[in-house]
Amino acid sequence: MAKKVSTKKAEAKVEPTPIQRPDVDLAIEKRLVALYTLQSVDSEIDKIQTVRGELPQAVQDLEDEIAGLNTRIENFNAEIKETDAANKTRNTEIADHEEMIKKYQKQQDNVRNNREYESLAKEIEFQNLEIQLCERKNKEGAAKIKELKEHIATAKKLLEGRNADLESKREELTSIIAETEKDEKRLRAKSAEQEQFIDERYLTAYKRIRGAARNGLAVVQIDRDACGGCFSAIPPQRQMEIKMHKKVIVCENCGRILVDDDIAAKAKANLEK
């Protein structure tokens, strides 16, 4: 009797294949997901930067002001030194003029006529005028030094306050950075990861649009039949083209890259990985 052959065969387990819309370009869809993911990550980084506010710029401004004050004080000190040196030089000149006066006065005691006496008298008068000129300049120099020292005192007082402000701002900034550094590092790594999935020309366009936008949004979702960036209405036919994922489409008004809910959902899932 012939052996009965079982018709039941071992069946290999087959995973169900997700249904892919025939009108969707997978490469374009992947690019759009990467672009929107990148935008989401960069927007989170922007929020961290907003938390820090204007502190980095405030610290920089204070550092620049302090550097300026130190330079001003250095210049004042250099001017004082120069003025003081000029006064000392004139004091030496005064001593020389006084010696000349003594010499001429001694010569007057031995003159032979009035003409020689008057000539020496004029020399003495000239030397006295030179002394007066030096003394006047020295007086002006002393007044200038006094004024410069007052400016230095004012600058130092201002510098003391600015240094205290700087220390306070730095401590505040350091504290905020410490709180957000871990998240920012993770987000920047995610941002760099997403950039690898985007063609250079699209990445360049993304960065250009993002740099020009005040809110940093280069890729936006359609919201209530309008662009999520500039809120301009998007015609139904245009919305249909966006949902087909066959090409990268930009807003005709603001130039931002537009995506639909499906791309946004996939980008969200991508971020949660």
Interior/surface letters 160-197, b for 16+ CB within 10 angstroms, e for the rest: eebeeebeebeeebeebeeebeeebeebeebbeebbee
* Beta-sheet pairing, 249-250 with 257-259: antiparallel
pLDDT at position 10, please?
A: 39
Q: Give pLDDT, residue 101.
A: 94
pLDDT at 25: 64
Comparing 179 with 40, the larger pLDDT belongs to 40
Give the residue-averaged pLDDT of 70-79: 97
- Measured CA to CA, the distance from residue 87 to residue 144 in angstroms comes to 11
Query: Sign of the CA dihedral 147, 152, 157, 158?
Result: positive
Tokens at 240, concatenated: 């249909």
Better-predicted residue by pLDDT, 24 or 181: 181
Domain locations in the chain as residue ranges: 22-51+199-273, 53-181
**What pLDDT is recorded for position 140?**
97
* CA-wise closest residue to 42 among 169, 196, 179, 206: 206
The secondary element (H helix, E strand) that includes residue 221 is strand 219-221
pTM here is: 0.55
Residue 99 has pLDDT above 90, yes or no: yes
Mean pLDDT, rounded, for 138-166: 96
Task: Report the pLDDT value the prediction gives residue 125, as an integer from 0 to 100.
Answer: 96
The pair of three-digit structure tokens given for residue 24, joined into one six-digit string:
């969707």
pLDDT digits (tens, 9 = 90+) for 192-204: 888 888 889 989 9
pLDDT reported for residue 9: 40
205 has a pLDDT exceeding 80: yes
Q: Which CATH number fits domain 53-181: 3.20.20, 1.10.287, 1.10.405, 3.40.50?
A: 1.10.287
- For 30-69, give the DSSP string: HHHHHHHHHHHHHHHHHHHHHHHTTHHHHHHHHHHHHHHH
